[in-house]
Each structure stands twice: as structure tokens, then as C-alpha cells.
Structure 1
Amino acid sequence: MAPVTELERSSSLLYKDFEQHGVPAIVSASGIYLGTQDGRTILDATSGAAVACLGYGNPDVQKAMVDQMMHLCYCHPGFYKTQVAEDLADFLVATTNGVMSKALLCGSGSEAVEVALKLAKTYFEHLPEPQPERTRFIARAGAWHGATLGALTLGDFRGRKDPFVSLLSQNCSRVSACSSYRGARAGESDSEYAQRLAQELDDEFRRIGPHRVCAFVAETVGGSASGCAVPVPGYFAAVKAVCERHGALLILDEVMCGMGRTGTLHAWEQEGVEPDIQAVGKGLGGGYVPVSAVLVHDGLVRSLRRHGHAFAHGQTYMAHPLAAAAALRTQQVVQQQRLVPHVRDVGAYLGRRLRDALLPHPNVGDVRGRGLFWAVELVADKQKKTPFPSKLGVSGRLHARGMSKGYEVALFAANGTCDGYVGDHFLICPPYVVSRKDVDEIVYRVALVVQDTMAEVATQYSLKDI
């Protein structure tokens, strides 16, 4: 047994489980690898949490941050403005060809979702004929929108949400997610599935009262809770039509799947729709700083401007100049090195390799994703799609083995895939700079983790009785 380190023995830092024993302490990072305190090298197949899009130690971003620190680290966003924040907002707006004409810069994905909700409410309050009764939101089953109270209200990851339900607003209801593996009926075409989900959304509008709904909120490609659930063709066009029919907004949460992760800078570009409000984060700053943004459709901006009302929102670290400098340089590197087309190319290769290596396994139910954003769902019975009991902790076992000696590959493990409580999956979402050779190494290590972990589970439990 390895000796307990001083850090593990006496840490004052509060972790999710109050202590963080048995996990590697990271002391260095370069490219797609992390160096541990005990001298090992871990291949980061997840970019942290789909964050480190450029990998670790990019010199261009580091230089931009140092240069900004030498001039200005912080100024109050309510008193002053900075050119670097203006430049980042201009860059983001330009990437949408002006479809979205304003960007608000904030600090985390959860914060961006909160801002999006407040903006939607503000829009309806400031119409020529205000609609203050629009206070309800519709979200989707299996969603994850963040850990703050407003974002938790939208989300459906039960393990994270249940302890705080008594604190949450009751202004959100939900409809089925677009997830073919678990949601599509036998023999149902993509078009039929999309239309059925659109009808379900329309029914929910009518149940609540269309005049009461502020917005429909969805991840363009499902994130950590749903395991990269990819929308079927026509789905978002169909639900956007429902929103427009009832005068509500469409808010797309691209905190995890956006900024190039799925093969276009904005995931909605592949869906033939334009959101009214969009949240981005994670890959925006590549992990070099905490940063997120909310992009607002030009139609909403013009409406708010026309009626001269302010947006009653402000936070201390909005438009932080150091964060803006790091995010702007990150996005410039992505653009200059043509990394988004690379994501499409090497991402398709990653998908093929994962499917070839893992789908033959009797406990791999599905491999799904887009770009460099892939998930592997594990099941006890492949024919029935029966999930493992949560008490087995299958996803946690996979993650722990991946981090252990002899495997050294980071998997983003999650559970609740099936109903918010049961269901195991893990994400593979490496940095945009990965090569095909890197992909081969990732798939080799991941397949070994799955093989050995599931063999261990099979020896300890009778899978036929699950």
C-alpha cells in the first residue's frame, strides 16, 4: 500500500466527499498528459471536463496572460471597460456572422445559464406590451445545466439535485430528451422521433399555458449527465417551431458541447437553427482561466435597445480582463491552427475506433457522440438495455482503474444515464490537438480499462441475476 502523503493526511481543502484520498496529486502538465506527484504520467482523454481544448502549456495563451497581467489584471466591470473584453465579445459575435450581436462575459457555465434565464425574463418584461406572466421554463429529462440553484432547477441529474430540491424554484417542468439509444421506439424513423418529441413539447406548452412559458432550455448535444446524446436530424428545427408558435424563446446550453467540441464552433450550426440565447464555457478559455459567456440573438438585442431598459444584472468578475485575454488568445489559436476542421476529422476517426474496439463487448450498450465528444454507455444486459444497479458503482470503478498504475488514462465517468439515478457511462473528449496516433493510444487504454473492470465486476456479481 502506498504511504499516505502529507497532502492527504492534513488537507484543509473541502472536497465533494470532504476528503480526497486515493486520487493522484497533479504537479505538472504538458500537451495531453498530466504528471503526478508519485512520478506517473496520465493521458488526459477528457480535457479535464471537456475544458482543456488546446491541451496543457500552450505558450501563446501563456504569453497573452502574462502580457495582460503586466498591464491590468482587474477593474470593476460596472465602473470601467477594457479593450480586451470588447475584443473578445467582438470575436464571439463575429463567429456567428452577427446572428448573435451581444456577448456577456462571466465566470462559469452555471453562471452563464443563470444569466441566460434572467435575460429571457428581462426580454418579456420589456416588450411594448410586457408579458410578466412568462415565468416558467421547460427543460429536458437527463439534462445537466450546472450546480447553482437556478441551473439545478433546470437540471435532472438526481444525485446532484435531490439534496437541494427544497431550496429550488418550482418554475420548471421537463419533457423527454432526444436520445435515440433509450428514447426512440422500434421501427421509428428519425423524422418520426423528432416529430413525436416536438408534439410532446407542444403538449407541455399547452398544459402549462403557452402564455406562461418563458423559454425551452436544452443542451444542443447532451453533456455529462446524458452522455453525449446527439439530436436526430430535424429535432431542433421542430422544437424551435414549437417555441415560435407559442412566442417563447429557445435557450441552448453549449457550455460543454460548444466552442468547437462537436466539430463546428457552435454546435447549433449543425442543426439548422439559431438560438435566442446561448451559453458557452469550458472550451472558451481552454482551462487557462475560469470564463464563460452568454450570446444574445440580434432580435432580442434590438428589442431591448428599442425600449431603452437596462439588464438588471452585475457581478464582480464579469468581463474580467485576464480571463478575456486568455479566452481570446485560446480562440485565436483554435482559428489560426484550423483546429475545428481537425476536430471533425480526428473525431470521426475516434468514433470509428471506439465503436470497433468497444461495441463487441457484452456490457457496452452504446457508443455515441460527435466531433471530439464521445460517450460509452455500459449495461448489464445488452439486449434489454438493462442498467447496472447503482450500488455496483460501475462508472466509478472504470474511472478509478483508469487512474491507477498500468492504465493511466483519465475517463470522465458519470451515472444516472437511464433515469437520473441508475445507468453508467463515461465520456472521451480529448484536447483538439490530438493526433490519430494519440487516438489509437487512447482507445487501447480505454479498451483495457473496460475489459479488466467488467471482468472484475463479473467475478464479484452474477450479472445474469441483475
Structure 2
Amino acid sequence: GYHGSTMVAAKLGGFQGMHDQVGTEFPGFHHVQQPHWFDFGGDKTPEEFGLEAAAAVEKKILEVGPDNVAAFIGEPIQGAGGVLIPPTTYWPEVQRICRKYGVLIISDEVICGFGRTGNWWGFQSLGFEPDIVPMAKGLSSGYLPIGAVAFADHIIKDFFELGGEFYHGMTYAGHPVAAAVALRNIEILEQEKLVDRCRELGPYFAQALASLRDHPIVGETRSMGLIGAIELSSNKAKRSRFKDSGRVGTKCRDYCFKNGLIMRACWDTMVLAPPFVITKKEIDELVRLARVALDATYADVKSEME
């Protein structure tokens, strides 16, 4: 999970830069290897690697002690990390492990929630059932800031039956205007069947991105629904990275901007999240402009190719 740049939330996430920024160490937070096959899969199939990455969760639970682990938190797809789509074997196995040891699952749906992966929730697309679900961005489609947390029945039941106080008041909690915008946003998603549209366009978007795999510096393309990524590589056969992580990605991003395409660079991973109302014709244009930017980038770094 990534979301939150405040001290505790930053420590929960996996960005070392944020850890360094907030400084103070917090006890009780433990991290495991991210399930990113491109960088860490080696010679294993994605399915084999997914099980291996999930096994790291069990290993960590046993290392810390099951009675000391409250929950496992993660994004179904790690968005800001570079749209890291785990192998299909990963999340179901993580769920099996967590249920085995009585560990709650928290699915960070800030990016994946409200249709981005082709279902209302990322956990539906990845095949698991969480106990707690934080959400934000898609709740209002970004028109106004708002976030929420959903709890499974068996969790919320304890709030009522165990009694005591749960102090969670915040200055702008329950803001009526933001709540009204969120409700209307959800109505539009339902009325215009935008989540269905995202799911239906997903295969076309994936195929369009895949057409870039013949490019010399494209090591992999991947997507789910309408979120995707293009991996830049100095040797696609070895899945090698360029030196000075982020340098080539930033170069490619700048060429994208120059040619009228908004694309984010997460180090040397190019990230795309087009609007749900995009058309097939516009997807074709998106990919055409991406190739123009990739060509320009390749011309600059050709001498660095392995």
C-alpha cells in the first residue's frame, strides 16, 4: 500500500524516499517483497513467482509471530509504484495465508477502486476478499477531496458489541459538499455504466499497448481495465534497467508532453490511466503518440542499449 504521506502512512508504504523524509522509526511495521515479476521474477513463470512472493508474506508473519500481526495492507495493483500488476496466483494465496493465521487484509483501493481495473473494486479483479477497504480518488473522481474506509460486517460488529470509544474525528470529516459530490459521482458511474465501459475497453487497451512491444526499448507492457504501464529496458531479453533509474523515463515523459500526450514516469516505467470515456480511436492515437515519444527517447539512448 502507498496512500498517505503523513508520518505513519508513509511508513506503511514502500517508498524509501518517504521513509527518509518522515525520519522517525515506527515500531511494528514490516515490509515484504513487492510481487513485481519484471524486476524480480528471474527465470520463474509469473505464476510461480506469484506464489513465491506470497510465501514471503507467510515467512514474515511467522518471523514476527502471528499473534503480533494485526493486518496485511497492500494495493491490489500498486499504482504509484509503476502499475505493478501481481501474477494471478499472488492475491488468492496471500488471502489463504492471512486467513490461516487470523491476519486481517486491508485493500488500499485509492487508485483501483470505483472501476479503474474493470470492476468496482480492485480486489474483485485480483480475486480476494479484504476485511477493510480505504478509498478516495475515484470516490469523487477527483472533483473534491474525500476519502472513506469500509469495514466488513464482522469487523464493524465489534465496534458496536465491544463498546468503548473510537476516536476518529477530523476537521473536514463528513464534509457535506464533498459527500454530495461523491454521491453524484457514483450515480453517474452507475447511470452511464462507466465501470462496464472500462471493463469492455480493457482488452482493446491491452492489445493496443502490446503493439508497442516490438519497440527496441520496451521490455514489457501490462494493463488491467484502463490502467497500464510500459517498461523501458536497455535489454528486453534480460529485462535489464537503464543506469541512473528514472533518467530515461523522465526523458520519455518530456517527449510525451512535447507531442501532446500526458504520461507519467515512475522511474523508468511509463504509466497510463486514461479516462473511462476514452474511445477506441483515441486509444489508437494515444499509442501512436507513445510510439513517437519512444522513438525520440530511443534515438537519445541508443548507445546505452546492451
Q: TM class by shorter-chain length? A: over 0.9
Q: Secondary structure at the residue paired with 2:30?
A: strand
**Structure having the higher Rg:** 1
TM-score normalized by the length of structure 2: 0.94
1:287-366 to 2 correspondence within 5 Å? 287-356=142-211, 358-366=212-220
Q: Does the CA-based 8 Å contact 2:72-2:104 persist in structure 1?
A: yes
Query: Shift in Å at residue 428 of structure 1?
Result: 0.9
Between the aligned partners of 1:178 and 1:425, the Cα distance in structure 2 is: 16
Q: Does the CA-based 8 Å contact 1:175-1:204 persist in structure 2?
A: yes
Inter-CA distance 194–453: structure 2 relative to 1 (3 Å threshold):
closer
Query: Shift in Å at residue 199 of structure 1?
Result: 2.3
Q: Secondary structure at the residue paired with 1:437?
A: helix
Q: Does the CA-based 8 Å contact 2:216-2:298 persist in structure 1?
A: no
**Alignment partner, residue 429 of structure 1:** 273
**Alignment partner, residue 156 of structure 1:** 14
Amino acid at match of 2:205: L
Count matched residues: 306
Please identify which structure carries the higher helix content.
2
Which of residues 284, 287, 301 in structure 1 aligns to 2:139?
Answer: 284
Inter-CA distance 399–160: structure 2 relative to 1 (3 Å threshold):
farther
Inter-CA distance 286–180: structure 2 relative to 1 (3 Å threshold):
same
Between the aligned partners of 2:46 and 2:265, the Cα distance in structure 1 is: 31
Query: Shift in Å at residue 163 of structure 1?
Result: 3.1
Which of residues 70, 93, 96 in structure 2 aligns to 1:238?
Answer: 93
Between the aligned partners of 1:310 and 1:271, the Cα distance in structure 2 is: 35
Q: Secondary structure at the residue paired with 1:351?
A: helix
Q: Deviations over 1:353-405 (max 9, x none)?
A: 1111x11112111111200000111111212222112266112122222222x
Higher RCO, Cα 8 Å, sep 6+: 1
Q: Deviations over 1:102-148 (max 9, x none)?
A: xxxxxxxxxxxxxxxxxxxxxxxxxxxxxxxxxxxxxxxxx533311
Between the aligned partners of 1:160 and 1:396, the Cα distance in structure 2 is: 20
Q: Does the CA-based 8 Å contact 2:263-2:271 persist in structure 1?
A: yes
Inter-CA distance 392–276: structure 2 relative to 1 (3 Å threshold):
closer
Q: Deviations over 1:185-231 (max 9, x none)?
A: 425461x4333233221111111111111111111112111x22223
Which of residues 98, 105, 118 in structure 2 aligns to 1:250?
Answer: 105
**Alignment partner, residue 126 of structure 2:** 271
Between the aligned partners of 2:245 and 2:107, the Cα distance in structure 1 is: 33
Work out whether 1:221 is the aligned partner of 2:221: no
Q: Deviations over 1:222-244 (max 9, x none)?
A: 2111x222232242221112112
TM-score normalized by the length of structure 1: 0.63
Structure 1 gap ranges (5+): 1-142, 416-423
Q: CA RMSD in A?
A: 1.8
Between the aligned partners of 1:359 and 1:162, the Cα distance in structure 2 is: 36
Which of residues 276, 284, 298 in structure 2 aligns to 1:454?
Answer: 298
Q: Secondary structure at the residue paired with 1:159?
A: helix
**Alignment partner, residue 393 of structure 1:** 247
**Alignment partner, residue 413 of structure 1:** 265
Amino acid at match of 2:37: S
Between the aligned partners of 2:3 and 2:113, the Cα distance in structure 1 is: 13
Work out whether 1:463 is the aligned partner of 2:298: no
Amino acid at match of 2:290: V
Work out whether 1:261 is the aligned partner of 2:129: no
**Alignment partner, residue 186 of structure 1:** 43
**Alignment partner, residue 221 of structure 2:** 367
Structure 2 gap ranges (5+): none
Query: Shift in Å at residue 297 of structure 1?
Result: 0.8
**Alignment partner, residue 378 of structure 1:** 232
The percent of aligned pairs where both chains have the same amino acid is 32
Between the aligned partners of 1:447 and 1:292, the Cα distance in structure 2 is: 36
Query: Shift in Å at residue 176 of structure 1?
Result: 1.7
